[in-house]
Amino acid sequence: MSALRIRCLALSMFAICLLVLGTANRGMAANDDDKRSARQIIVPDEDRFTPFAITIRVGQKVTWINRDTDDHTVVSNDAFNTAGHRGVNMLLKANGGKFTLTFRHPGVFPFYCRFHAMLDADNQPKAPGPDGGIQDSNGNFGTPMNGVITVLDND
């Protein structure tokens, strides 16, 4: 192979690398935009929210989706809620019930399901126990059904 052909080959490899990198960067930017537009919190076929904790930016939407066969709720824990939407108390119907909030202020939005958690004297979610919890075979009333959204300010 001549020196000229090797140089040509090296140049075209470099050009291909640039093209691949450019495409990859555009792909990542599109994903970031998608993440910024909306996030989901799922109730799987269990009494819990997943993910338990998410971090979003001001202006983003969060949609809760109930994929369980039981009804659940989204209730704001206003003792610690600094991200707005105070007094939220929404039913998530079984098998696909949805509820969406848009967060316009930085802060934290702690929430729980009033069917599967209750607030103690310090406003901490606890499992509802004999008054409403679902007892497993070990006599344990499980973990409270709750979660938290952290809303960061845009730079």
Return the DSSP state at 154.
P
Collapsing DSSP to helix, strand or coil, 98 comes out as strand
Q: Which of residues 62, 101, 113, 151 is near Cu ion by CB under 5 A?
A: 113
> Taking CB under 5 A as the rule, does residue 49 contact Cu ion?
no
Single-letter amino acid, residue 108:
V
Between 60 and 146, name the residue whose CB sits nearer to Cu ion: 146
Residue 145 found at the interface with Cu ion (CB under 5 A): yes
The residue among 85 and 125 lying less far from Cu ion, judged by its C-beta, is: 125
- Which one of residues 109, 111, 115, 141 is an interface residue with Cu ion (CB under 5 A)? 115
Sheet with 107-112, side-by-side order of all strands: 53-57, 146-152, 107-112, 72-76, 89-92
Residues numbered 68 to 87 that lie near Cu ion (CB under 5 A) are: 72
Q: How far is the CB of 48 from Cu ion (least distance, A)?
A: 8
Residues contacting 90, CB < 8 A, separation 6+: 64, 73, 74, 75, 99
Which of 60/149 has CB closer to Cu ion? 149
- Residue 33 C-beta: closest distance to Cu ion, Å: 32
Check residue 58 and give left, alpha or beta (phi > 0: left; psi -120 to 50: alpha). Answer: beta
